[in-house]
Amino acid sequence: MIEVKNLTKRYGQHFAVNDVSFTVSDGEILGFLGPNGAGKTTTMNIITGYIAATEGDVIINGADIQAEPEKAKANIGYLPDAPPVYGDMRVDEYLNFVADIKKVKSSERARMISDIKETVKISDISKRLIKHLSKGYRQRVGLAQAMMGYPEVIIMDEPTVGLDPKQIIEMRDVIKKLGKKHTVILSSHILPEVSVVCDRVMIISKGKIVASDTPERLSSNLTHGHKMSVRAKGDAGRIVSVAQDYPIIKSVKVDASREPGTVDLIMTGDEDVDIREAIFNCMAKNNIPILQMKSLDLTLEEIFLQITSSEGGGE
């Protein structure tokens, strides 16, 4: 559905985007992440045709965004971080205006507007002036305009910014529903939202893609067994003491006691050291039965910081 090939955007000697290539499959929800100034907004603006690339190609459903802009853009709905709504219009007036711009057939318009309003849950505010709506409702109206014409691709820049927790949950549900009928790209700094909503996460830093995978696989690939949850049988004080005396195990923290006569601990080593064998040897040497041991996955926040801390940013 979306092919980005060797995309570069240069301002003088500064590379905002530097030789970026990726694809997004039909029906996929891709989370686009990066520190401020990393190049993600520039990349999204190039994909939508808002700005031109210095080098490289963007193909939307077979159409090149530069060579066939009208054909390519017909497949795209875009919700920028500031919804492009007109405060002095009523919701229905604005959506009809957008339908005109997108050349929606008059025979399909009423049904399409009704369906989209139902999807984003704004049917009950159809007659209200947009300037009197809350930030959350203006965001939904902005998403409704992006959906007008039923584009194959919907791109959203920070769709939950400024929303309260209830509105964030509601927007998350809407995005999940969109993924069933559309290909979705969203950028966000709210990392837990991305881990819940997105099929795949792509992290950009200094204009380059530095990671791309599912949140689960990113976590698994970066953990390497250096942080483990261990359930052992015996006295908590003794178990902590013998583990702390083992050089490779750098820290031991009591987590809980979920079974009688046992203790759950979090044991951590250096980031590039697998401590599983060390834990086994330590416990065996001291006749302490291990009932359970599992690797603790990094959170998406930890992954983000680990990958980008050595990369920096600049957009």
Domain layout of the chain by residue ranges: 2-220, 225-297
pTM exceeds 0.85 for this model: no
Q: In this structure, which CATH number among 3.40.50.720, 3.30.70.3100, 3.40.50.620, 3.40.630.10 belongs to the domain 225-297?
A: 3.30.70.3100
> Can 2-220 and 225-297 be said to share one CATH topology?
no
What gap in Å lies between CA 125 and CA 163, rounded to an integer? 18
Provide block-wise average pLDDT over 10 residues at a time, the chain (315 residues).
92 92 92 82 91 94 92 92 92 96 94 94 94 92 94 90 82 87 85 79 86 73 68 92 89 85 89 83 94 72 63 45
Q: Are 228 and 279 in contact (CB under 8 A)?
A: yes
Q: What is the pLDDT of residue 224?
A: 52
Both tokens of 181, joined, read 């009928």
Tell me whether residue 272 is exposed, middle or buried, using C-beta atoms within 10 angstroms of its C-beta: 0 to 12, 13 to 18, 19 or more: exposed
Q: Are 86 and 94 in contact (CB under 8 A)?
A: yes
Q: What is the pLDDT of residue 171?
A: 86
Q: In Å, how far from its chain's centre is CA 26?
A: 17
Q: What is the pLDDT of residue 313?
A: 42
Q: Is the domain covering 2-220 a CATH 3.40.50.300 domain?
A: yes
